[in-house]
Amino acid sequence: VTRLEVLEAKAGIKAGAPATKSAASHMEPTLEVSHDTGGDSPSVQAYDEYVKASLVPFADTCDELKGLQNMGTLIKDAWEGNRSIIVLASRAKAPAGNVAEALVPYLTKTQEAVKAIHGLRLDRDWDRHLKAVGEMLACLSWILFKPPQQLPSAMVKEALGSAEFWSNRIRKDFKGKDETQIAFCDNLKKAMTGLIAYIEEYHKPGLTWNPQGISLEEAAIRLTDEATPAAEAPATRPKPPALKGDAASGNVGGLIAELGTRKNSDGTSAATGLKKVTKDMQTWRKEYQGSGDAPKPAAAPKVVPKATPAKKTPLRGIPIFEYQDRGFKWIIENQTAESAKKESPDGVLKVEISDPKQQVYLYNCEGITVQVKGKFKSLVIDTCVKTAVVYDTLISSAEMVNCKKIQLQVTGICPVFTIDKTVGFLVWLSAESVPVSSFTTSLSSEMNVSYPDGEDQKEIPIPEQFVHKVGDGSMTSEVSDLYH
């Protein structure tokens, strides 16, 4: 057995490969050979240099500021998560379909680090630092951007401007008082400008893939295997001595000659004991006699039904649920039922309004419920699906755009509802809001309003069909008779 394994290794045959494959198939290069992943690509090496030169000093500065707790370590983890995506891209060809959707499952490490940073409970003295870092973390999404959406470097430049808004305030407060605070501002800018330079050199039109690479899934599996500690890796076979002459070049005749030189002292070899297949034993020949020694005809190939393609899930970025002082705005983005449960045990995202100037903005959410307590300025729901919002009183308006299956419940007063490009809208009005509420709609359908009528609750549709007439140099419109 050992002798056969050595011969297999010399012939380029993987150990344990099925014996029925032809010799020619064994001579073909394997994926491991045609796609060498032993060394890092120039883009990965450049990223490591950028992290060492620009990001690590910023993370170290964060560690020096004890009030930021372990933020420095978490920042390194977030950038390390993006590094794994760059490594995958350097080894894999671009996946078919939506590239951003394909990358989302591999962003877990980055998402966990960002989530941990947003979850840090810092003293109020460190609010501006947290906001500056929060704006900086937005640039981690550059790997998902490409034209015509937006160039990655342009997105990072926007994030840099937002981060500097807060870092400049820190710089103003501590100028001439605390050099570590000034270093925090300087190194934050250095980390982001370094990332911009790296992106413009290696990923200017978007994340660069390997056109000759393997599939993304295969590259991810191999990357995981490489991360396995050496102690846990299976023992490898010793490298056999190299073949000589024609055998080494893949010549079958040379291989047979090489096997002939490997006979034992009694004349036996690896081929000893094998039966000769004569014509009367070959089932496809007319000489076939049906002998018991003949191989059985191969069974008809089993027809495997085509697998139903998995339903594509919409692209989601990093879930966000936070309040931003700039703009007095509550931001709820990319939330799902699963991510909402991480914010609240019952899955309901609760917003406590402390100032009537505050606004609530929902974007790209699905299957969530939001409860807003207090009087606030406005509500905007953009590109959301199956989202419900319960709120007290609005000063301005509630706006829905590019949504599906939205439900609102007003316990106070909402004077204006604006519905644009939305399919499926239902609002429950309070008794005090009924006489003051108005609805403006465009390109929307399946809209209904429910309101109290005595002791009962009545539901009526918002008209979608109108009759238009031209007369006296003007156009008049009336609701279709279907709604009367």
Half-sphere exposure of 171 (CA within 13 A, CB side): 15
Highest mean pLDDT range out of 13-27, 286-300, 365-379, 466-480? Answer: 365-379
Exposed, middle or buried, 325 (CB in 10 Å: 0-12/13-18/19+)? exposed
Residue 67 has pLDDT above 60, yes or no: yes
Sign (positive/negative) of CA torsion 220, 194, 111, 207? negative
Q: In the prediction, which pLDDT does 101 show?
A: 81
Cα–Cα distances in angstroms (integers) from residue 113 to residues 52, 81, 168, 249, 335, in the given order: 19, 9, 25, 51, 17
Instruction: Note the pLDDT of residue 120.
Output: 86
When pLDDT is cut at 50, 70 and 90, the band that residue 123 belongs to is confident
Place of tokens 């925090």: 184
Q: Is there a contact between 312 and 97 (Cβ–Cβ < 8 Å)? A: yes
Q: What angle do CA 96, 100, 105 make, to 5 degrees?
A: 100
Does residue 209 have a pLDDT over 50? yes
- Strand 348-352 vs strand 320-324: parallel, antiparallel, or unpaired? unpaired
Return the ∠ at Cα 264 (arms to 263 and 265), rounded to 5°: 125
Kindly state the percentage of the chain with pLDDT values over 90: 39
What are the phi and psi torsion angles at 280 (to 5°)?
-75, -5
Q: What integer is the mean pLDDT of 112-121?
A: 88
85-109 pLDDT, tens digit each: 899 888 888 888 787 788 888 888 8
Please report the pLDDT score of residue 219 as a whole number: 81
Query: Could you read off the pLDDT of 416-451 as tens digits, one per residue?
Result: 999 999 999 999 999 999 999 999 999 999 999 999
Nearest CA-CA partner of 81 in 58, 113, 119:
113
Residue 229: the pLDDT is: 53
Query: Tokens for 107?
Result: 């962003």
Q: Please report, for residues 30, 67, 149, 166, the alpha-carbon distance to residue 124 in angstroms, rounded to integers and kept in the order given.
A: 58, 10, 37, 14
pLDDT, mean of residues 261-269:
63
CB-based contact 132:188 (threshold 8 Å)? yes
Mean pLDDT (the chain, rounded): 81
Q: Which pLDDT value is given to residue 27?
A: 36
The pLDDT-based confidence of 408 (bands split at 50, 70, 90) is: very high
Higher confidence at residue 230 or residue 373? 373
**24 pLDDT band (50/70/90 cuts)?**
very low
Q: Are 350 and 335 in contact (CB under 8 A)?
A: no
pLDDT category, 297, cuts 50, 70, 90? low
Which residues, at least 6 apart from 118, have a Cβ–Cβ distance to it below 8 Å? Answer: 134, 320, 322
**Structure token pair of residue 185:** 């501002």
Residue 23 has pLDDT above 50, yes or no: no
Residue 373, pLDDT > 90, answer yes
Q: What Rg do the C-alpha atoms of the chain give, in angstroms?
A: 33
- The residue that leads in pLDDT, 227 or 161, is 161
Convert the pLDDT of each residue in 307-357 to its tens digit.
Answer: 666 555 555 688 999 998 877 899 999 999 999 998 888 999 999 999 999
Nearest Cα to 444, choosing from 474, 460, 418, 423?
423
How far is residue 248's CA from residue 413's CA, in Å, rounded to a whole number?
84
Q: Which residue has the higher pLDDT, 233 or 52?
A: 52
What is the spatial distance between Cα 202 and Cα 48, in angstroms, rounded to a whole number? 13
What distance in Å separates the CA atoms of residue 380 and residue 286, rounded to the nearest whole number?
Answer: 80
The pLDDT score that the predictor gives to residue 4 is: 53
36-45 confidence digits (pLDDT tens):
444 678 889 9
What pLDDT shows up at residue 20?
40
Residue 230 reports pLDDT greater than 50: no
- pLDDT over 70 at 265, yes or no: no
Tokens of 267: 């004349």
In the structure, what pLDDT confidence band is assigned to residue 396 with cuts at 50, 70 and 90?
very high
Q: Which residue type does 343 have?
A: E
Q: Tell me what pLDDT residue 1 has.
A: 46
Give the three-state DSSP class for 121.
coil
Residue 332 has phi, psi (to 5 degrees) of: -125, 105
